[in-house]
Amino acid sequence: MADCSRQLQEQVRTASAERRALAITGGGTKVFLGRRPVGEVLDVSAHRGIVSYQPVELVLTARAGTSLDVLEAALQEHGQMLAFEPPHFGPGATLGGTLACNLSGPGRPWWGSVRDQVLGIRLLNGRGEHLRFGGQVMKNVAGYDISRLQAGAMGTLGVITEISLKVLPQPALTLTLVQAHPPATAITRMNQYAGEPRPLSAACWLDGRLYLRLSGAASAVQAAAGQWGGDRLAAAEATAFWSALREQQQAFFQPALRGETPLWRFSVRPNATLPELPGAWVLDWAGAQRWYRGTGEPARMETLAAAMGGQVTLFRNGERRAEVFHTLPGALQTVQQRLKRQFDPAGIFNPGRVYGWL
């Protein structure tokens, strides 16, 4: 529980004056993401603690270095949750890193992403100014949405120091159904179910099985489970399944965790036809987030992603000095470069972490 913003501000000012690159770090659990970090470590993890939490307002404000464990425990006490179910990817994962990487779990299509739940932030820009954007209220359209702009920027625009979030009540009942389907049928079914007014909260196809999670009022959950059918997982088994999926602990992910094979993430149209590839797939987010384990030429993978209406990222392993995010058209590169310069004129924040040209 410490406010270290003054120290962070000093470090930023010094680095800016000396034009030294900073590698912004929280719990260090996402260091595998993006391109290889360069520069001197700016450790944000000591700047932690919940600043305010009013359960009745559904709003929580915490310093960026606060660990997800601490937040989840505080919310649990009041029967609430981080609706975006953030993956931790290791002990000590922080809120700041979660927003910077825009990481959300299985409930994302229905409960929103971390970006969706952000209400406001404080940010140290490249001039070392400590700025506040957004607020602690659900609706706020004064000024540009600088808070959500940070989602996915991986710290290239500044040091996020504080975040206000919308939180949600935990559902009264959660139930997981399992149906056996080949992938093409699973894609059809997931999209069909997602189009029905039922309390679907996760839909994932893994290893020949479609896992459907229902969350909400007991009456609605039971009715939908009866209509859709399938084997019901025991509560503990279901919790373990979704947690292992979110944390990439399922057997499917193990070769990638051991560094043996590349892991690709496709963010695409949920009903897009699955391309023929030699490796293995997991389909999450009702088909909108697809994990592919196997080698592939980046250009070829981008062509496949574009055909599915979206983008591909080399999520784990492979050559991390090369580009790992989907190639952007020149006009969008220019826009991002100009924006970066407006926040970070000396180019000190996580240079090259997202793209080599940023």
Does residue 30 bind another protein (CB under 8 A)? no
Interface with another protein, residue 270, by CB under 8 A: yes
One residue of 51, 74, 178, 223 binding another protein per CB under 8 A: 223
Task: Decide: is 192 part of the binding site for another protein (CB under 8 A).
Answer: yes
What is the nearest approach in angstroms of another protein to the Cβ of residue 137?
A: 4
- Helices and strands counted in the chain (H then E): 12, 17
Q: Does 338 participate in binding another protein (rule CB under 8 A)?
A: yes
Supply 72's token pair: 């989840």
Q: How far is the CB of 245 from another protein (least distance, A)?
A: 16
Helices (H), 102-234: 108-111, 114-117, 146-149, 183-194, 218-228
Q: Which of 268, 274, 301, 304 binds another protein (CB under 8 A)?
A: 268
Interacting residue with another protein among 4, 50, 58, 244 (CB under 8 A): 58
Please tell me whether residue 309 binds another protein under the rule CB under 8 A: yes
Q: How far is the CB of 236 from another protein (least distance, A)?
A: 22
Q: Which of 267, 275, 320, 347 binds another protein (CB under 8 A)?
A: 267
The b/e string for 43-82 (b: 16+ C-beta within 10 A; e otherwise) is bbbebbebbebeeeebbbbbbbbbbbebbeebbeeeebbb
Q: Which is nearer to another protein, 42 or 268 (CB)?
A: 268
C-beta closer to another protein: residue 91 or 345: 345
User: % helix / strand / coil in the chain, to the nearest 5?
Assistant: 30, 25, 40
- In whole angstroms, the minimum distance from the beta carbon of 254 to another protein comes to 25
Q: Which of 271, 277, 279, 294 binds another protein (CB under 8 A)?
A: 271
Applying the rule CB under 8 A, the residues between 95 and 154 that interact with another protein are 102, 108-109, 112-113, 115-116, 125, 129, 131-133, 135-146, 148-153
Q: Give the binding range for another protein (CB under 8 A) out of 38-46, 54-62, 178-186, 292-300.
A: 54-62
Alpha-carbon distance of 80 to 287, in angstroms, equals: 27
| Cβ-based neighbour number of residue 285 at 10 Å | 22
Among 21, 203, 326, 351, binds another protein (CB under 8 A): 326
Sign of CA dihedral 308, 110, 114, 147: positive
Tokens of 24: 């912004």
**CB distance 97 to 29 below 8 Å:** yes
Within 8 A by CB and 6+ apart from 203, the residues are 109, 190, 193, 194, 210, 211, 212, 213, 284, 285, 286, 287
Nearest approach, Cβ of residue 91 and another protein (Å)? 25
Count interface residues toward another protein (CB under 8 A). 90
**Closest distance of CB 136 from another protein, Å:** 6
Q: Could you tell me if 26 and 96 are in contact, meaning their C-beta atoms sit under 8 angstroms apart? A: yes
Longest dimension (CA), the chain: 65
> Among residues 44, 75, 157, 256, which is the contact residue for another protein, using CB under 8 A?
157
